[in-house]
């Protein structure tokens, strides 16, 4: 249930309920970046990138983008965007806005997405 009055916008970080999940899919209520543009579509869907805790081995992965824990992101610990777990979800899964990323992180995420889908830029 969406308990926030804020509207999700590209670049926002929201807590999202990813359950139910299957096998290796990202689970539970966790932060995610809203990646889709605000004016896209007529269905109440958003393309999101889940956030997971940062691990040093992620530094060499093109699909993991580092996110610092700070007041702007709203994250409690250093984390990573996981572009291999990108999803389109109904906005009813969005729980609460906790922060946002700056344009440089958004651009890094889009570059990583192009790598994940095999599009050379």
Tell me the two tokens of residue 57: 């081995």
Task: Write down the domain spans for the chain.
Answer: 12-116
Gyration radius of the chain's alpha carbons: 14
CATH of 12-116 given 3.40.710.10, 3.30.70.260, 3.40.50.300, 2.30.30.110: 2.30.30.110
- Whole-angstrom distance, CA of residue 77 vs CA of residue 95: 19
Tell if the pTM clears 0.75, that is, is over it: yes
Q: Tokens 């994940």 map to which residue?
A: 116
Token output for 102:
């700056």
| pLDDT tens per residue, range 46-85 | 999 999 999 999 999 999 999 999 999 999 999 999 999 9
Rounded CA separation 90/85 (Å): 16
pLDDT digit string (tens) for 4-27?
Answer: 557 899 999 999 998 887 777 677
- Of 76, 78, 68, 77, which is closest to residue 101 (Cα–Cα)? 68
């Amino acid at each position: 249930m969406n308990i926030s009055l804020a509207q999700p916008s590209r670049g926002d970080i929201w807590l999202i309920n990813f359950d139910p999940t299957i096998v290796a899919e990202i689970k539970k209520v966790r932060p995610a970046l809203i990646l889709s543009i605000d004016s896209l579509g007529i269905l109440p869907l958003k393309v999101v990138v889940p956030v997971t805790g940062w691990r040093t081995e992620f530094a060499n992965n093109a699909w993991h983008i580092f996110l610092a824990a700070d007041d702007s992101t709203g994250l409690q610990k250093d984390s990573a965007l996981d572009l291999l777990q990108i999803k389109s979800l109904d906005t009813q899964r969005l729980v609460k806005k906790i922060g946002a990323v700056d344009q440089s992180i958004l651009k890094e995420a889009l570059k990583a997405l192009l790598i994940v889908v095999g599009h050379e830029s």
